Amino acid sequence: MNATQNLHDLGQSIWLDNITRELLTSGILARYIGELSVTGLTSNPTIFDHAIQNSDLYDDAILKKALEGKLGEVLFFELALEDLLQAAELFRPIYEATGGVDGWVSLEVSPLLADDTAGTIAAATKLHASAQCNNMFIKIPGTPAGIPAIEEAIFAGVPVNVTLLFSREQYIAASEAYMRGIERRIASDLDPAVGSVASLFISRWDVAIKDKVPEALHNRLGIAIATRTYQAYRDQLASPRWQKLAAAGARPQRLLWASTGTKDPAAADTLYIDALAAPGTINTMPEKTLLAFAEHGNANNVMRIDESDAEAVIAEFARQGIYEEALAEKLQRDGARSFAKSWNELLTCIESKSTALTESKRG
């Protein structure tokens, strides 16, 4: 039995943090599902940017859509939906077998809407309606403008993957937005079973402070933040407020570990997978990390919930001048800017390919 099966048996879902047309057409994704216990998939603008820029497998579809007069975001979302709907079909048996707990894929609203509540609500609702797919999350950032959009999307029955969360406090804000949406659905006699996950980004903490602290503190802050947040997650699920919603038929908003590829070449390539083996959560892994973990990962130790240890680590960083609350806000802003940059590069790539392909066709 490989390490991924052990992790799955421990109670943590393994999702792939990647999507390309090659993964689908080659059968690799199907193999990951069958052999590596992969039960879901996430995407983001950077992933699609790399997929489309570095492959000619999208060229025929881009040409066809360009000749139909489709441009920019419209063309991109059609491409993305083609990939994600295929992936969703592969995961549908898992979705059905788990009663909607697992087997999901994710599509993100435009990152340019990170500070636009109304625009995010409209985009999320439109994408959900366009997909017509029960096991597709719409990703909404947990930014200050995104939090009310999450509540409204959940109330509208749109399954939401809350992205760009970096701290316990940001997670709690997202969790409470989710619960408000569910409470409003119950008050309106609507089905409370609307899926959601909350994605906490891990490795970016350690990248941000690597050159600012002694080597002994390298690669420790992200795991400490995760431990603190996992305790908050468990507290939320045990709370009377959530128990009341669960009794009415609501689904838990599961905690998802994101950004779990090791960035430090001096650290183990499965560092964050080994450390975050927490039952009831999800770990979405880059493809390279997934394969490394399957080969030599360690899923034998359940994640320790020791807030005192986590708080001691966070306090040590504070003594080094690293204050987690301010850094969490910065990481979220930087993450939103990074996705917006990838989005703009993606649209530029599609425009360039569209122009070149149509000129060659007419040529």
pLDDT of 298 reads: 83
pLDDT of 127 reads: 97
One pLDDT digit (tens) per residue for the chain, 363 residues: 589 999 999 999 999 999 999 999 999 999 999 999 999 999 998 999 999 999 999 999 999 999 999 999 999 999 999 999 999 999 999 999 999 999 999 999 999 999 999 999 999 999 999 999 999 999 999 999 999 999 999 999 999 999 999 999 999 999 999 999 999 999 999 999 999 999 999 999 999 999 999 999 999 999 999 999 999 999 999 999 999 999 999 999 999 999 999 999 999 999 999 999 999 999 999 999 999 999 999 877 788 777 789 999 999 999 999 999 999 999 999 999 999 999 999 999 999 999 999 988 886
pLDDT of 363 reads: 66
Query: What is the C-alpha to C-alpha distance for residues 176 and 19, in angstroms, rounded to an integer?
Result: 30
Domain positions in the chain:
3-362
Query: What is the C-alpha to C-alpha distance for residues 43 and 148, in angstroms, rounded to an integer?
Result: 22
**Active site residues per annotation:** 139
Query: What is the C-alpha to C-alpha distance for residues 181 and 350, in angstroms, rounded to an integer?
Result: 36
CB within 8 Å of 35: residues ≥ 6 apart? 2
pLDDT of 360 reads: 86
Distances (CA, A) of 195 to 181, 242, 264, 310: 11, 14, 34, 30
pLDDT of 305 reads: 76
pLDDT of 304 reads: 76
According to CATH, the superfamily of the domain at 3-362 is Aldolase class I (3.20.20.70)
Contact between 117 and 149 (Cβ < 8 Å): yes
User: What's CA 37's distance to the chain center, in Å?
Assistant: 18
Q: Where are the alpha helices (DSSP H) in the chain?
A: 3-10, 21-25, 28-36, 45-53, 59-67, 72-97, 117-131, 146-155, 168-187, 203-209, 221-238, 240-247, 271-275, 287-296, 307-319, 324-362
pLDDT of 300 reads: 75
CB within 8 Å of 65: residues ≥ 6 apart? 75, 78, 79, 354
Q: Where are the alpha helices (DSSP H) in 248-323?
A: 271-275, 287-296, 307-319
CB within 8 Å of 224: residues ≥ 6 apart? 309, 310, 311, 313, 314
Select from 176, 167, 169, 123 the least CA-distant residue to 148. Answer: 176
Phi, psi angle pair for 245, to nearest 5°: -70, -40
Look up tokens 């997934």; give the residue.
290
DSSP assignment of 80-140:
HHHHHHHHHHHHHHHHHHTTTSS--EEEEPPGGGTT-HHHHHHHHHHHHHHH--TTEEEEE
Phi, psi angle pair for 284, to nearest 5°: -100, 115
Query: What is the C-alpha to C-alpha distance for residues 92 and 102, in angstroms, rounded to an integer?
Result: 9
pTM: 0.96
pLDDT of 1 reads: 58
Query: What is the C-alpha to C-alpha distance for residues 119 and 180, in angstroms, rounded to an integer?
Result: 20
Q: Is 343 helix (H, G, I), strand (E, B) or coil?
A: helix
Record the tokens describing residue 50, joined without a space.
């790399």
